[in-house]
Structure 1
Amino acid sequence: MDAILAQFFNLEIMAKALPLVLKGLGVTLLICAVVIPLGLAGGLLAALGSVSRNRALRWASIGFVDFFRALPPLVLLIFIYAGLPFAGLRLSPFAAVTIAFFLNNSAYFAEILRAGLLSVPRGQGEAARSTGMSATQTLAWVTLPQAVRNVLPDLLSNAVEIVKLTSLASVVSLGEMLHAAGLVRSITYNASPLMLAAGLYLVLLWPLIRVIGRFERRIAS
């Protein structure tokens, strides 16, 4: 037991690792602050395209969603960071992570929002148009708010997945939280920094999971 505590829960090593891991947490939060809004915006555009009456736009949107949902995010990240330089396009680790996660999560947000848009009765949009609202106003004030409410738990769940997805950024040496913990582990030959990072992930995500559960119960009632 003492050996396990010394290897995984060494408080002295955790204390020394804390400043670097917290710096990594800041990078993790920065990635989320950039990727989540971009993913929502891209997902909304793709969702609108997938329910469009324009056949070319609809199939292009469906193809985008299917392709980036099927492609593993780690493969996409490595391709953007390590593959594009062969074509003369070299990106920083942060830019590569942002683009890869944006493409991946736009596809998932699109599928969620598409389901939300289809859950709103068509008659509500027609009633709004009959009052003189434009198509854009109907979408912004009638259809979209109801669609978002209907799929809000799924949107929040995907946001939680994005936070966990940021750990993949360590493969391109971006200094997010897991990468920072790994650096200290490689120096100390001790797993305590990784347990510290795991604890911070838990503290960060557990309240969000509880919020999601509350929304799910409220919508179900």
Structure 2
Amino acid sequence: MNNAQSVKTGARLLAVCAVALSLALAVFSSPVAAYALTTSDMTARPNGNSGSDVLGGTETRISWEGQAAPDESVSSLSFTLPEGTRFSLDNAKLTLLTGEDRMTRTKVDARFSSEGQTVTVAIDGQVEAGAYYRVELYGVEFPTSGGDMAIKGAASFADGSKQELADLPTIKVTSVSPADQFARYLEGQDWVKAWNSNKFLKLFFNPPLLVTSFPVVMNGFFLAVGIVAVAFPLAIPVGLALSFMRMSRFRVLRAIAATYVNVVRGTPVFLQIYIAFFGLPLAGVEIPSFPLGVLVLGMNSGAYLCEIFRAGIQSINKGQFEASRSLGMSGAQTMLFVIIPQTVQRVLPTMTSEFILLYKDTSLLAAVGVMEVVMYAKTIVASTGSITPYIVAACFYLVFTLPLAKLVGIFEARLAGNDAGSAKKRPRRLKSAVRRQAEQR
């Protein structure tokens, strides 16, 4: 009995193994689905002589190559371009590449059409099976934002079957600013070519380079304005404090202020920048470039504002000091509420001139690597060999300084008018006082 049961169990195991083996053979021996059309290559190149990079907003040529299966003939191809891509079907073509090196090209009659972002190539007639196809699209402009552009493709065959094209490589597109686009437009203009044919004009006033340099140098302009916007408010209290020290009754304070002002005004600000940027790190003091530049320029301007404020305070009639004291005001109150407001009014034109000088002095920070106006222009000059970026930098200085210079003229004219009006009123008041005294007598 035991032997009979063992035989039955063994037979069952053999049957199960046989069934499993047959299923495995059925699975592994079934034909694996294969693509009837494989992508061999897909590239993008600029249409013109603008290098090998694909730039957004610039006309580009796209070429696709694919190999059909030996028993398949393609009837149509379609390619879906990324959103925002502009293209033209002019000069688009489909060719067959033959020969061992695939250098022999045979043009195929095909109709190109588009619907939305999809370009369809319908092949007229029958093409031999297993052909090697090449599709070329000209005038393709990818979005200016750039990035990795994915193109989708599909194929239809003579037997009615369809297939998605797999393994299409993404195209890396470099972003392009509106200024770059406008510069490329200018490069193609006849008048620009004639203008740049003159060596002097091309060196100093190259129109495309003017356009592309403007947004780059503008970054330095904002930084320079930021430096001045922080340094000048810092210089004002420094200048006021030094001016009070210069007029102090204490000899020590006068000596300290005089020494500081004479040293700072007697040495070039360029040298002071070098001492701060290269001397402090050697002494173990590490300060970032922006705050250090603000500190150096602010302390330098404070020395000049000291003399401006001192001259303005000393120009106030001493009778106003005495009148304020007679009204019971302390020295601090007299200075704060009577003298300083009049001083600011008188020195405002000179302060504005100092503000202009401070803004221009920011260009010296380019020598120590601070990315302000001149430094940005210098980097473009180094790569292009043209002086045009320096002209752009000069424009940024003039845009800022000319209106301020005009403002200084207005302040000076008003101040002169006020002084003249005051001078005319004094004799009238004197005559009135004399007349009243005579009448009383």
Tell me the amino acid that sits aligned with residue 298 of structure 2.
F
TM norm structure 2: 0.49
**Matches of 1:145 and 1:197 in 2, distance apart?**
37
1:90, distance to aligned residue in structure 2 (A): 2.0
Which residue, 220, 223, 229 being the options, matches 1:24?
220
**1:193 aligned partner, one-letter code:** P
- Which of 241, 245, 268 matches 1:49? 245
The structure 2 residue matched to 1:180, chosen from 367, 370, 376, is 376
Q: What letter corresponds to residue 153 of structure 1 in structure 2?
A: P
Aligned mates of 1:45, 1:39 — CA distance in 2? 10
2:261 is the alignment partner of 1:65: yes
Match of 1:152 in 2: 348
Contact 1:173 1:179 in 2 (8 A): yes
Query: Which protein has the larger Cα radius of gyration, Structure 1 or Structure 2?
Result: 2
Matched, 1:36 2:226: no
Distance 2:262 2:373 in 1: 30
AA partner of residue 187 (structure 1): S
Q: Residue 143 of structure 1 aligns with which residue?
A: 339
Tell me, yes or no, if the aligned pair for 1:39 and 1:103 is still in contact at 8 Å. Answer: yes
1:7 aligns with 2:203: yes
Cα deviation for residue 134 of structure 1 reads 2.5
Distance in 1, Cα, partners of 2:292 & 2:267: 16
Match of 1:190 among 363, 386, 390: 386
Q: How does 1:88-127 map to 2 (within 5 A)?
A: 88-127=284-323
> Unaligned regions of 5+ residues in structure 2, if any?
1-194, 418-441
For the residues of structure 2 that align with 1:57 and 1:122, how far apart are their CA atoms? 22
Of Structure 1 and Structure 2, the greater helix share is in 1
| TM-score, normalisation: structure 1 | 0.96
Partner of 1:74: 270
Structure 1 unaligned blocks of 5 or more: none
Q: Deviations over 1:123-154 (max 9, x none)?
A: 21221122222222211110011112222211
The Cα RMSD (Å) is 1.2
Secondary structure at the counterpart of residue 217 of structure 1: helix
Deviations 1:52-105 (A, max 9, x none): 111111121111111111121010100010011111112222122112112211
In 2, distance between residues paired with 1:40 and 1:71? 20
Q: Which has the higher strand share?
A: 2
Corresponding residue for residue 216 of structure 1: 412
Whether the aligned pair in 2 keeps the contact of 1:113 and 1:147 (CA below 8 Å) is: yes
> Would you identify which runs of 4 or more consecutive aligned residues in structure 1 move more than 6 Å?
none
Question: Aligned residues: percent identity?
Answer: 35
AA in 2 matched with 1:3: K
